[in-house]
């Protein structure tokens, strides 16, 4: 702290130096007198006369007359009092009064303003050391209670209510978190993460179970955003709790495709998928073909295309769970016959898929040999491989064989 005030005093002294040195500096001497200035003018005019005579511009017999006129003029000019030529305002005395006032005012103003608008306690090392100590649970709880009082006065403050809800959840106060998320959902109804977090808090509050209202909130979150990470994880967990291994694996594989391959989250999801497959096998309930292929084989085959299929929220209500889902790759240029096809159930949506040469419909048409393909999905109530009016369809952009994480959204109805 002493170092801070020493540095502050030094800076004030430097500032005073910039003010006082010019203020106390002796003014420069006065300019030349009037007589000296007139003599310089007369000498210059005489040189001009001599020059004109030498060059012939002035006749030689006129030289004496011109010099005589110059002498007459000089008498009047040289008779002026000998005073400075630039005398205008008498020189000021040295401003000692102003200098003393500045020397007193600058430090007073500087330190006074710092006391008012600065942070004097910031230089207190003992205080800094005390504040650097970790907060206790009681202090955190007190801060959260203060936050609750503030946001109660601002019912439309979505950011404040979100912070309060997360704080309650972090403290394990799940019932309070549920009420905060419920209010937040009213003022931010289009946020999928709000419904997912609300479902999580409600599930924890009712004994770590997602059955009932929490699952309804999860579905609302997925209607807003089919790829909301927490909603997918909760939906997969709820399906696993219900013993629906196919649906659980469908949610987890979609989430798997949204995570970077080398991330910790991806490793955790991979472990969950392996556990779901193991539990399904132990229960004697093999997974559906499309889901099992998507989760176990991945995109390891040469030229395979992997990705996910989801349903648009606007068409979700029109999906019959018993309908057939076709996912196929079609060459961008060439025969319209699909190069590879996966058949699954619509109840598996959203789901991961993998298409490769093992699913080819003709030995002469292979996915790996195509230059570019388009992945298409179709939900058929009739189960017919040929498109029918009323089928729900979706398509990806153009991709090349070997592409990963291709996303297909079923968002159209065949006329």
pLDDT in tens, 252-289: 888 887 778 777 888 888 888 888 888 888 887 666 54
What is d(CA 167, CA 169) in angstroms, rounded to the nearest whole number? Answer: 5
Residue 135 dihedral angles phi and psi, to the nearest 5°: -75, 145
Give the lowest-confidence range in 34-38, 57-61, 207-211.
Answer: 34-38
Q: 312-344 burial, b if ≥16 CB within 10 A, otherwise e?
A: beebeeebeeebbbbbbbbbeeeeeebbbbbbb
Give the lowest-confidence range in 96-110, 187-201, 259-273, 392-406.
Answer: 96-110
* DSSP codes joined into one string, 121-158: GGG-HHHHHHHTSPPPHHHHHHHHHHHHHHHHT-TT-H
Q: Position of tokens 């949610």? A: 251
Cross-strand bridge partners of residue 345:
324
Cross-strand bridge partners of residue 318:
none
Three-class DSSP category at 333 = coil
Q: Is 334 left (phi over 0), alpha (psi -120 to 50) or beta?
A: left
pLDDT at 240 over 90: no
pLDDT band at 236 (very low <50, low <70, confident <90, very high): confident
Report the candidate in 326, 327, 321, 311 with the shortest Cα–Cα distance to residue 410.
311
What is d(CA 107, CA 279) in angstroms, rounded to the nearest whole number? Answer: 78
What is the pLDDT, as a whole number, of residue 90?
A: 45
Give the lowest-confidence range in 28-37, 107-116, 338-347.
Answer: 28-37
Q: How many residues does the chain have?
A: 415
Question: Which two three-digit tokens encode residue 144?
Answer: 């959260």
pLDDT band at 88 (very low <50, low <70, confident <90, very high): very low
Report the candidate in 297, 288, 289, 254 with the shortest Cα–Cα distance to residue 272.
254
Question: Which two three-digit tokens encode residue 389?
Answer: 């009016």
> Per-residue pLDDT averaged across 315-333, rounded?
91
What is d(CA 163, CA 177) in angstroms, rounded to the nearest whole number? Answer: 10
What is the pLDDT, as a whole number, of residue 129?
A: 46
Q: What is the mean pLDDT of the chain?
A: 76
Better-predicted residue by pLDDT, 118 or 52? 52
Question: Which two three-digit tokens encode residue 331?
Answer: 């060459």
pLDDT band at 86 (very low <50, low <70, confident <90, very high): very low
What is d(CA 30, CA 52) in angstroms, rounded to the nearest whole number? Answer: 35
What is the pLDDT, as a whole number, of residue 224?
A: 85
What is the pLDDT, as a whole number, of residue 411?
A: 94
Do 319 and 311 contact (CB within 8 A), yes or no? yes
What is d(CA 396, CA 373) in angstroms, rounded to the nearest whole number? Answer: 9
| Global pTM value | 0.44
pLDDT tens digits for range 64-79: 666 666 666 666 555 5
- Which distant-in-sequence residues (6+ apart) come within 8 Å of 209 by Cβ? 203, 241
Order of strands across the sheet that contains 373-380: 340-345, 324-331, 373-380, 392-399, 412-413
- State the number of CA atoms in the 13 A half-sphere of 330 facing the CB: 16
pLDDT at 89 over 50: no
pLDDT band at 123 (very low <50, low <70, confident <90, very high): low
């Amino acid at each position: 702290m002493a170092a801070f005030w020493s540095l502050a005093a030094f800076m004030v002294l430097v500032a005073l130096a910039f003010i006082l040195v010019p203020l106390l500096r002796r003014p420069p001497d006065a300019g030349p007198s009037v007589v000296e200035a007139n003599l310089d003018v007369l000498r210059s005019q005489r040189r001009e006369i001599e020059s004109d005579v030498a060059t012939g511009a002035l006749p030689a017999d006129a030289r004496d007359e011109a010099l005589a006129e110059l002498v007459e003029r000089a008498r009047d000019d040289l008779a002026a009092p000998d005073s400075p030529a630039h005398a205008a305002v008498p020189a000021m005395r040295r401003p000692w009064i102003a200098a003393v006032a500045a020397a007193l005012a600058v430090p007073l103003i500087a330190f006074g303003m710092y006391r008012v608008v600065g942070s004097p306690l910031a230089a207190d090392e003992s205080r800094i050391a005390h504040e650097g100590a970790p907060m206790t649970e009681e202090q955190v709880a007190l801060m959260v209670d203060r936050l609750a009082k503030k946001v109660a006065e601002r019912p439309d403050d979505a950011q404040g209510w979100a912070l309060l809800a997360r704080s309650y959840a972090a403290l394990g106060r799940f019932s309070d978190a549920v009420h905060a998320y419920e209010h937040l959902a009213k003022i931010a109804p289009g946020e999928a993460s709000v419904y997912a977090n609300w479902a999580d808090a409600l599930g924890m509050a009712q004994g770590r179970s997602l059955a009932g209202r929490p699952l309804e909130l999860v579905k609302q979150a997925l209607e807003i955003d089919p790829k909301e990470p927490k909603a997918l994880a909760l939906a997969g967990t709820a399906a696993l709790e219900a013993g629906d291994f196919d649906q659980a694996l469908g949610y987890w594989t979609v989430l798997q495709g949204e995570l970077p391959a080398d991330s910790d989250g991806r490793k955790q999801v991979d472990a969950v998928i392996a556990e779901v497959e193991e539990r399904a096998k132990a229960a004697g309930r093999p997974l559906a073909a499309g889901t099992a292929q998507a989760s176990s084989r991945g995109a390891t085959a040469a030229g395979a295309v992997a990705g996910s299929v989801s349903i648009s929220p606007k068409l979700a209500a029109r999906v019959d769970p018993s309908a057939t889902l076709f996912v196929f790759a079609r060459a961008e240029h060439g025969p319209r016959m699909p190069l590879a096809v996966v058949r699954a159930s619509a109840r598996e949506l959203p789901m991961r898929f993998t298409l490769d040469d093992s699913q080819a419909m003709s030995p002469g048409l292979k996915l790996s040999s195509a230059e570019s393909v388009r992945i298409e999905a179709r939900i058929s109530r009739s189960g017919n491989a040929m498109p029918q009016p009323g089928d729900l369809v979706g398509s990806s952009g153009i991709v090349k064989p070997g592409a990963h994480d291709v996303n297909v959204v079923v968002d159209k109805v065949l006329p």
